[in-house]
Structure 1
Amino acid sequence: MKLLVVEDHPALRDLLLRHLQRSGFVVDVAEHGREAVAMLALSRYDAMLLDLGLPDMGGLSVLAARSSTRNADLPCIILTACDALEQRIAGLDAGADDYLLKPFEMAELEARLRAVLRRPGPRAERRLQLGNLSFCLESREAYVGPQPLLLSKREMALLEELLRCAPRVVIKDQLEERLYALSEAVTPNAIEALVSRLRRKLVDAGADSSIETLRGLGYRLASGAS
């Protein structure tokens, strides 16, 4: 899953980035509101963590601008040091899904993220499955039958994207957008190498699904029965 973190405090922004990356998320970060709006127009995200006190525009203005981007229905958790009831109500009325008061524990942040991602909508599934291959969205663990499938974080993210779309084709450019942060340099063959590693691990683990390459287009995960 890919997150957008909008936070102007450097130490907290870096802490969020490192923690969420360790938890298996792909993370883009923005320091300013206008930068965040540009990112919302450029890339598709699964959730946004939004500080209200940004230096160039208020977080509520970012929420309002969200509706005219490709992330119009993006779940949002507001992060703020202000405990004023009026501000909390304004944020929720503006379309935020939850509110987290600074300082907070990372464990609570992750729990709230899981909660908003479970709400009705395209991200409401708890487990993705195709044949004997499954992926638990909460624990971010993959299995072939009852056996855990040991994957790197990037391989796990690739498997999730393929399972979400299976048996439809996932365009290569879309995979690159979803699996890498905007700040990361991506080599021309990065996706091919990643797909090759995951394909080999699926075969070695006895998965009855395989990754098919559609040259010039992308990839799809197909069950042995298809």
Structure 2
Amino acid sequence: MENNKCTVLVVEDTHDIATQLCDFLEGKAFIVDYAETGGQAIQLAAQNRYDVIILDLMLPDIDGTQVCKHIKQTSDTAIPILMLTARDSIEHKVQGFGVGADDYLTKPFVLEEVYLRCVALTKRHRLHKSKVIELGDLKINVSTKEVERQNRAITLSTKDFQILSLLAEAYPSAVSKRELVEKVWGSDAPETDAVRSHMYTLRNAIDKPFATSMIKTVHGIGFRLVV
């Protein structure tokens, strides 16, 4: 990715944090816009095209979750949103993901991590915009929900497709088991080890019929795709 073509909107009402974020990202050759309120963020998101939005959850006028929900519902480009918050509970994260947040970072954070997450979200977004994700001999059509490997059609359940799509969008990074649960099941998190069960059926469909495996377990972290 060419960083000088990456545009980001920083939405943060704490001046010191906003200044640090903007200065750091501009130093990485990002083009940065800034909004202090939710209302300003909604207006800027409607007027401009951003590769990613960094959105504080606690804003003076509109709650960050409502800003996220509005932008996701009205944008025609599915802008990735990275939420920043002092809240670290699973309930708040589920709430954020439930309204469309793509990633979550708890304060205090390291500026370099914000940058790396922005880069990852932008890469995923550009893959996703094409509507077809191709990784090696694996092809995923996110619009029609069709999957092929080596030109052979593969039938997946809805949740298996969601899990595979998350792994593909995160490539080459790993996706944690916790993130899979939050994004696939949301507030209806299963009581049993459903992720393990779905990974088993997914591997049977994606890996078992072929000479090489694409789904790898990353010990202590989660799962990722390899090409």
The TM tier, using the shorter chain, reads 0.5 to 0.7
Task: Tell me the CA shift for residue 112 of structure 1.
Answer: 1.1
Tell me the equivalent position of 2:22: 17
Tell me the equivalent position of 1:62: 67
Q: Is the 8 A contact 1:33 1:56 kept in 2?
A: yes
Q: 1:89 aligned to 2:98?
A: no
Q: How does 1:140-219 map to 2 (within 5 A)?
A: none
SS class of match (2:129): coil
CA separation of 1:123 and 1:30: change in aligned 2, threshold 3 A: farther
Q: 1:42 aligned to 2:59?
A: no
Which residue of 6, 9, 24 corresponds with 1:4?
9
Task: Tell me the CA shift for residue 72 of structure 1.
Answer: 4.6
Task: Tell me the CA shift for residue 70 of structure 1.
Answer: 3.9
Task: Return 5+ residue gaps in structure 1 as ranges.
Answer: 125-226
Deviations along 1:21-61, whole A, 9 cap, x unmatched?
11001100101001100001111111000000000000111
Tell me the equivalent position of 1:121: 128
Q: 1:110 aligned to 2:115?
A: yes
Tell me the equivalent position of 2:32: 27
| Structure with more helix by fraction | 2
Give aligned-pair identity as a percent: 38
Q: Partner amino acid for 1:122?
A: K
SS class of match (1:34): helix
Task: Tell me the CA shift for residue 115 of structure 1.
Answer: 1.6
Higher RCO by CA contacts (8 Å cutoff, separation 6 or greater)? 1
Deviations along 1:159-216, whole A, 9 cap, x unmatched?
xxxxxxxxxxxxxxxxxxxxxxxxxxxxxxxxxxxxxxxxxxxxxxxxxxxxxxxxxx
Q: Is the 8 A contact 1:78 1:99 kept in 2?
A: yes
CA separation of 1:123 and 1:11: change in aligned 2, threshold 3 A: farther
Task: Return 5+ residue gaps in structure 2 as ranges.
Answer: 1-5, 132-227
Q: 1:53 aligned to 2:58?
A: yes
Q: Is the 8 A contact 1:5 1:27 kept in 2?
A: yes
Tell me the equivalent position of 1:75: 80
CA distance in 1, matches of 2:86, 2:72: 25
CA separation of 1:71 and 1:109: change in aligned 2, threshold 3 A: farther
Tell me the equivalent position of 1:98: 103
Task: Tell me the CA shift for residue 71 of structure 1.
Answer: 5.2
CA distance in 2, matches of 1:3, 1:69: 18
Number of aligned residues? 124
Q: Is the 8 A contact 1:117 1:123 kept in 2?
A: no
SS class of match (1:60): helix
CA distance in 2, matches of 1:26, 1:123: 23
